[in-house]
Structure 1
């Protein structure tokens, strides 16, 4: 049987127990995906089944997220005093001037997320994938004044060598895998390693709302239920709870209202949970994760 060779099996109850800062046991981070798409070509989430290209219905729905939804989410995060990890397609600096800058001004973490979400990286040759990572990294480094520490592939797409290429490009953590509730080390070629920070697929609005057709209120209830259960479970071990959001989905007013209520519930526990970013989780766990 084929295996990935990146990490060995490890049962959560058998691992060493450590704390997040201030003795907290549950780390909560918001991953806000700011993405750009090609008009008339390429991949893209669909509100309704798309017709022949140019698929104006779905392209405009996604574009609304950058023009309107992202700004409403920014305001909500300001109101709740919650940080975020902003997962950035590098071409958004060109396509949506001022958008990333608004989240930078909040002090949010900027995370690499490929060039555009109209493509996948896992289907590319090694040279092509290396070039994609290098191009996106160069843009983010130039615009932000420092290299991003973390990466999520567009469409959570990885080839068999993506962790190797990310480690070789200087990345300290990746977000693509949802195999655990704690950060874990991945082995990479030539004796290297890179940390995997848990990224949610259940508490992710694309699988929940686009794929499973859940309502915004059902998605918000899932966030609240997961938070309360993980808060209880974290008495036994340090845990990571991520929430993945896309402005063109949860920025819609009828979904934003229940999302706001769910996040207000979490923010009300800021004295007992660590409201943070994926990068801060990676930095803390790098010295502690087995």
Structure 2
């Protein structure tokens, strides 16, 4: 027996319960759809002269060169100053909702950008204080304090606490699910182990793990694998169409996430390809549920016992 996390049980894909998401059309007169799709827009802020950060070119975060890391800091900041606004225009054009994965430092750094998403009615989910830090490296008391600070900032500015969380760098300590449930979170996006929501055990009750993509995600695709903008757009379309085929008829329902970072996808030549992919997505809205992660969580909790796999 190998060491395990103990958070959920293994469930093979065949034989799972069939259910429908709201919206779209199943094609058999029942209404509903087998595919829920959400966009995860990461709004992140980074410390200057220290800390972690994605790198356009090797810098201090990868052990190359001293701080200040002007090249990579400025590349990331482009997303908040320019790229995110271009992405917002595309979302408005196509009437697409999104889940904003928010570093709470953005309330100080770029409040107008957060306000623009608020005005659209987008979901604001917790994403730590800043992506310059990694919560898996924190002692438990410090991690609990970081979660509380990020949560309270969102509650103060949005008028309600977030229900979902994505850790900076998707990094967890062994205590993270417990701390999230303790803080009142209903779902996490950290675990990419399935194409359906999965119940996780915590010391404070169940926590829903909603699929967050590590493939249809512009950082692994474009920054890590060096895929082109065209390839990333094709990835979105192919992922969508393959899933629609799989959920047709009596197929097991699925969740498709698309993860976007404005400093990557907001570059003009990449945005042009993304717009093409999202236009295709919007054209298929009658066959799927275009929604937010919070709405997926809310609907999953209405399903009959046993429909959602994971923890007993």
TM-score of the pair, normalised by structure 1: 0.98
- Helix, strand or coil: the match of 2:161? coil
Query: Which residue is equivalent to 2:108?
Result: 94
Query: Which residue is equivalent to 1:279?
Result: 294
- Deviates most, 232-241 or 112-121: 232-241
2:247 to 234, 239, 243: 234
2:180 to 162, 166, 171: 166
Q: Which runs of 5+ in 2 are unaligned?
A: 24-31, 60-64
Query: Which residue is equivalent to 1:13?
Result: 14
Query: Which residue is equivalent to 1:46?
Result: 55
2:229 and 2:72 map into 1 onto residues whose CA distance is 19
2:207 and 2:51 map into 1 onto residues whose CA distance is 30
1:49 and 1:262 map into 2 onto residues whose CA distance is 30
- Helix, strand or coil: the match of 2:135? coil
- Helix, strand or coil: the match of 2:285? coil
Aligned length: 289
Q: Which runs of 5+ in 1 are unaligned?
A: none
1:106 and 1:244 map into 2 onto residues whose CA distance is 19
Is structure 2 residue 136 aligned with structure 1 residue 122?
A: yes
Matches of residues 64-83 of structure 1 in structure 2 within 5 Å?
Answer: 64-83=78-97
Q: How much is the aligned-residue C-alpha RMSD, in angstroms? A: 0.8
Is structure 2 residue 225 aligned with structure 1 residue 216?
A: no
1:186 and 1:142 map into 2 onto residues whose CA distance is 28
1:119 and 1:26 map into 2 onto residues whose CA distance is 34
Task: List 4+ stretches of structure 1 deviating above 6 A.
Answer: none
Query: Which residue is equivalent to 2:27?
Result: none
- Helix, strand or coil: the match of 2:14? helix
Query: Which residue is equivalent to 2:121?
Result: 107
Equivalent residues of 1:195, 1:286 under 8 A apart: no
1:261 to 276, 280, 299: 276
- Helix, strand or coil: the match of 2:286? coil
Equivalent residues of 1:151, 1:175 under 8 A apart: yes
Query: Which residue is equivalent to 1:252?
Result: 267
- Helix, strand or coil: the match of 1:31? strand
* Residue 97 of structure 1: how far off its partner (Å): 2.1
Deviations 1:113-154, CA, capped at 9 Å, x for gaps = 000000000111110100000000000000000000000000
* Residue 287 of structure 1: how far off its partner (Å): 2.5
* Residue 286 of structure 1: how far off its partner (Å): 1.7
Query: Which residue is equivalent to 2:62?
Result: none
1:202 to 215, 231, 241: 215
2:42 to 15, 19, 33: 33
1:90 and 1:18 map into 2 onto residues whose CA distance is 36
1:92 and 1:102 map into 2 onto residues whose CA distance is 12
